[in-house]
A and B are shown apart, each in its own frame.
Chain A
Amino acid sequence: MIKLTIDGKKVTADAEATILEVAREEGIEIPTLCYHEALTPIGACRLCVVEVTEGGRTRTMAACVAPVSEGMEVVTNSEKIQNIRRTIVQLLLARCPELKVIKELADKLGVKDTPFKPESEDCFLCGICVRACDEIVGVNAIGFTNRGVRNEVLPPFAEASNVCIGCGTCTTVCPARTFDLERVTKSESMHSFGKEYRRDYCSICGTHYMIPESYLSE
């Protein structure tokens, strides 16, 4: 067990825990976007940054990937951190002005508007869909393509994937809720990354599942 301090409070934690996990257990709120309990954290959105003092040195680190260490002092909500979070939200608001999850985050952090020119993206590249398709489903149907500002989540060659099994995981874990969960479970058909799926029923147990249209003819 490790002893550390978060926001002045002395806590103990598992040696392998991350700062985010410990904070959540202590009821301390740290906003996240690219974090998902079932997936490997990657520290990409940087909303969860906190100030960490270890061995006399203070650094800004992403809480979701930072391992705890003995004697560590963590501050989750200083002026500096608040400013960082607000600026990041301003950047996201400018990128995806229509997304509900970003607007809610902005409200929560007191960000009213953004000084940057608006774009109209519906994806902020958190990578949860890619990780889910890789780590949980295992088919790797979608991935990151290009780099930097041209980064995009797509199936290879931007063509309908022939390894996608239509499980709908990517659409249900997406924090931008680009697709509505209701629509996936109740609809007769689904459109995902360029491919059409239709609802069908298993003749053995009667549960429904989505099957790619093209497989129905094979």
Chain B
Amino acid sequence: MKDFSILIVDEPDDLRERYLRTLESDGYSVEVADDGKQALAKIRGSSYDLVLAELEIPGVEGLKLLKLMRNLDPEITTIIVTANPTVEGAVESLKGGAFHYLSKSIPPEKLLESVNQALEKKRLRQRAELLRIEKKIRATSDLEGLSEVDEIMNRQGYEPSSLIAVLQDIQKQRRYLPQDALRLVSARLNLPLTRVYGIATFYKAFSLKPRGRHLINVCVGTACHVRGATKILEALERGLGVEAGGTTLDERFSLETVRCVGCCGLAPVIVVDENFHGKLTQEKVPSVLADYT
């Protein structure tokens, strides 16, 4: 399964079918659009690595289509495949940014070659960019820690949509999300750093500062609230000398609140690491904490 996606823009006919089958049997994921308007709608909705377009199709005038596609997605590679090849057409297309200009009379295998070439070039360019960023990161950070982070991403297949799962694993391992780990994730998963940082600050599971050895989560869900969770939280804040969201100086405990751990029958509840302590009273708090060094 090749991880590039292709869009063929052309009127539905036998030739388009042949191209579709040739590319699919080589492992690409392929979609089709019948005309210029559909093509633009598709590109707006999904992301394609390569577009194969016939210029003489209804909807949008050929070269304009080329320009519009690149406006929507500057990373898109285009190959023009036309039934009426002309020299002017070739020059204009290449000037407009197309990678290749081919005639429909060539056998599908030749087309496949051209597609493979274009995408190989793209892959090399992406890899070079990645290496450049990684080099910059490596020059300034903790190498050993980073190779663990790399392993976490590897387990998820470096899939961009696995971002949250990756960050959860890093958080679990390091007890927080170090800056250089986030930069590496951004580089490896090919996602803007703003996205990675945005996710790291949006979800409560993550913290950018190291957490204590033991995480105390005080449930402040409604059932617990009604049964006195606020008083338990205040008792903990007083006892540990930190506010909710903080970590004790000796890094033993971090105190957080959580809205409902689903243990409502035993309200009020606190969770320390993965252990649930229910039916708590202010009196019982010190003895519960004593078990955690």
Contacts and interface: CB of A to CB of B under 8 A. Distances in A.
B202 A142 contact: no
Nearest to B44: A40
Interface string A115-150: 000000000000000100010001011111111000
B197 A156 contact: yes
Contacts of A134: 192
- Most A CB contacts (10 A, CB to CB) among B74, B182, B192, B202 go to B192
Contacts of A145: 197-198, 201-202
A134 B194 CA distance: 10
A145 B193 CA distance: 11
B194 A142 contact: yes
Contacts of B154: none
Contact of B202 (A138, A147, A155, A157): A147
Interface in B195-246: 195-198, 201-202
A133 B193 CA distance: 13
A163 interface: yes
Nearest to B186: A156
Interface residues of B, number: 12
A143 B202 contact: no
B156 interface: no
Contacts, number: 33
Contacts of B193: 140, 156, 163
B194 A146 contact: no
Contact of B179 (A140, A142, A157): A157
A163 B182 CA distance: 15
B202 A156 contact: no
- Most A CB contacts (10 A, CB to CB) among B182, B201, B202 go to B201
Contact of A146 (B179, B182, B192, B201): B201
A131 B39 CA distance: 23
A143 B74 contact: no
Nearest to B72: A135
- Most A CB contacts (10 A, CB to CB) among B74, B192, B194 go to B194
Nearest to B196: A156
Interface of A: 130, 134, 138, 140-147, 155-157, 163
